[in-house]
Amino acid sequence: MSLKHIVVSVLFVFFSIYVAFLNPHESTFHLTQSQTFKLPTVILLLAAVFTGVVISVAIFWTFNLKNAFSRWKTDFQKSRVEKKHSRLESLFKKAENFFLCGRLDKASAVLEKVLDAAPDHVGALSLKGRVLGAEGKSSQAISLQKKALEVDPQNVSVLFDLATTYAKADQTDDETNLLNKMHRDNPKAAQPLFRLRDAYLKKQDWKSILIAQDKILPLIRNNKEEWEEELKNKSRFLYARGKQQWEQDRRDPAISDFKQSLKAWNKNFDAHLFLGDAYLETGKSKTAIKKWITGFEQTHNALCLIRVQKVVYLDKGDPQELIQIYQKAIDPNQPQDSYKYILLLAVLYLEHGQAENAKNILEENQTDHELLGSLLLAHARQPSNNGSNFDLIKEAIFAC
């Protein structure tokens, strides 16, 4: 019972008590003109209290019935809305399934039904945009997805869909502007930055790429595997910017980028190779050799040693350090992996007139199915014959 009804009951009780005190003796109660009853005051008091309670209960049930009717009406309307919403969501899921299965015509037809019933259905507007985008109708797709954003401006899913549509339409500036807005609104979210970085990659805007990459790395620090992979990507981006600056004849910034690339990931053998090439082109051959040897130590990529070998041969320098590196790289327990170093060492011996050493190393490590090794051994046994063949064999070994 509500407070209002309790208060009414209490008022009736007090009124009855008041009447009883005013009439301490028996009271005469006329039912009709001829029928008269004399009632004790206490009976009158009890009757008044009972009447008050009955009236209060009647009022309570009257209001309760009214509220019950109102609740029933509200529940009925809510049920209708929920049924409509459930039906629309069922249709929307059906359209999504059609879209994911590549049945664009079916998806479009179902989405039309959803939008006819609910023109502002955000999911349907965005998905319809994706369907139109897949059909090559980019302008219509963008229009629908913008309409979805007017209804729900902070819907991340729709924002990504619109960015994807911009990307397919080659509207890179619109794509990057939208992704930058998403990043400003969600500075701790990595996904907009990944998409933004990929958008800048299309334009090869290395400065913006690296700015985005530097923002990505702190956000994924807890995921060690992903963080290490993105460090490698940063190294690759720095290397690419360094190459671009080298081609633009900006030597010092290019070398700086190559060094930063290796600082981010010291196993980037492309950066090791190009950094040595850069020093060689600027006349610092000793520094170039040092960088290539460091590159081999960190990456175990034979291309670094081939670079050194070419420079040592051209400069007629002392090959002893390189010979020792090859000898350390040759592992008797891994003959297949080591054979390339055997060939390179044999070539180095022959280049410096040490045919006997070349013959010995090749004879000690012969294989049955290595054509280049057989040709090189034949030349080592008769180094004075047909020097042009040696150059061809050497280039083939370097190329392999």
Burial class (CB in 10 A: 0-12, 13-18, 19+), 216: buried
Do β-strands 36-39 and 27-30 pair in parallel, antiparallel, or remain unpaired?
antiparallel
Domain ranges, ordered by start, for the chain:
1-30+38-90
* pLDDT tens-place values along the chain, 400 residues long: 556 656 666 676 666 666 656 656 666 656 566 766 666 666 666 666 677 667 766 766 676 666 666 676 666 667 676 787 788 888 889 988 998 898 999 999 998 988 888 888 889 999 999 999 988 899 999 999 999 999 999 899 999 999 999 998 989 999 999 999 999 999 999 999 999 999 999 999 999 999 999 999 999 999 999 999 999 999 999 999 999 999 999 999 999 999 999 999 999 999 999 999 999 988 898 899 999 999 999 999 899 999 988 887 776 677 888 888 888 888 878 877 788 888 888 888 888 888 888 888 888 887 655 788 888 888 888 766 555 688 788 888 888 7
CA 246 vs CA 268, 277, 295: distances in Å:
18, 11, 20
pTM of structure: 0.71
The 3-state DSSP class for residue 28 equals strand
Alpha-helical segments (H) within the chain: 3-22, 41-100, 104-117, 122-134, 138-151, 156-168, 172-185, 191-203, 206-219, 224-247, 251-264, 269-281, 285-299, 302-315, 320-329, 335-351, 355-364, 371-381, 387-399
Contacts 24+ apart (CB under 8 A), 58-61: 59/5, 59/8, 60/1, 60/2, 60/5
Q: What is the number of alpha carbons within 13 Å of residue 161 lying toward its C-beta?
A: 28
Tokens of 321: 């350090």
**Residue appearing with tokens 């009972």:** 50
